[in-house]
Structure 1
């Protein structure tokens, strides 16, 4: 599963949703029972996984040839609880989580070419 860009993205998307669930449960304990330790732990965990999701989305957008709008949707999906799972399912149905067959130009190739031309 973790050998491809798709596998990494799906893994991190699920991990982000699980960390959201943990944070929501910890918030129930904090505000319902007055136990704030869970929010301290799961807040840190969720923050790390959230950052990983954003970085993973940015990294896989070019090899998977996502349009800019798809990347924006992936990043926006990280904000609401379980949005990353909803985006992952949507992208899977729409074919955005499939590797292109031929390695054509992507964002990083264009950036590299532009930087070479500027020098």
Structure 2
């Protein structure tokens, strides 16, 4: 799960960078390549994140609804923080019951 958490955080940071750095640079500094490069990188990272959600879902036995929530949080700004919190809470509960 630590790999999934890392992928989630990296993908989330790429989305934040795209929305709050690259897009303003394109709009206010006429730097169109910023969105091109950051958007391309974010797209690849999102595909990796989507595949990782499927793997994590199967490994953890998540319901389809929980899997969809985790997947959708990948397109919500700062949604990766909720996913990270949710996973840490799940792992903490498992340690307490072990």
Same fold (TM over 0.5): yes
Q: Please give the per-residue CA displacement for 1:31-63, whole angstroms capped at 9, x wherever unaligned.
A: 011111110100000000011111000011111
Q: Following the alignment from structure 1 to structure 2, what is the Cα–Cα distance between the partners of residues 85 and 16?
A: 11
Structure having the larger proportion of residues in helix: 2
State the Cα RMSD in Å.
Answer: 1.8
Q: Following the alignment from structure 2 to structure 1, what is the Cα–Cα distance between the partners of residues 78 and 47?
A: 15
**Structure 1 consecutive aligned stretches of length 4 or more whose deviation exceeds 2 Å:** none
TM (norm. structure 2) is 0.85
Out of 1, 5, 12, the position equivalent to 1:10 is 5
- Work out the number of aligned pairs and report it: 93
Q: Following the alignment from structure 2 to structure 1, what is the Cα–Cα distance between the partners of residues 29 and 69?
A: 36
Q: 5 Å matches for 1:23-34?
A: 23-24=18-19, 25-34=21-30
Q: Following the alignment from structure 1 to structure 2, what is the Cα–Cα distance between the partners of residues 73 and 63?
A: 16
Q: Following the alignment from structure 1 to structure 2, what is the Cα–Cα distance between the partners of residues 83 and 35?
A: 27
Report deviation, 1:91: 3.1
Q: Following the alignment from structure 1 to structure 2, what is the Cα–Cα distance between the partners of residues 62 and 54?
A: 13
Structure-1 residue corresponding to 2:67: 71
**What SS does the corresponding residue of 2:42 show, helix, strand or coil?**
helix
Q: Which has the larger radius of gyration?
A: 1
Structure 2 segments unaligned to the other structure (5+ residues): none
Higher relative contact order (Cα pairs below 8 Å, separated by 6+ residues): 2
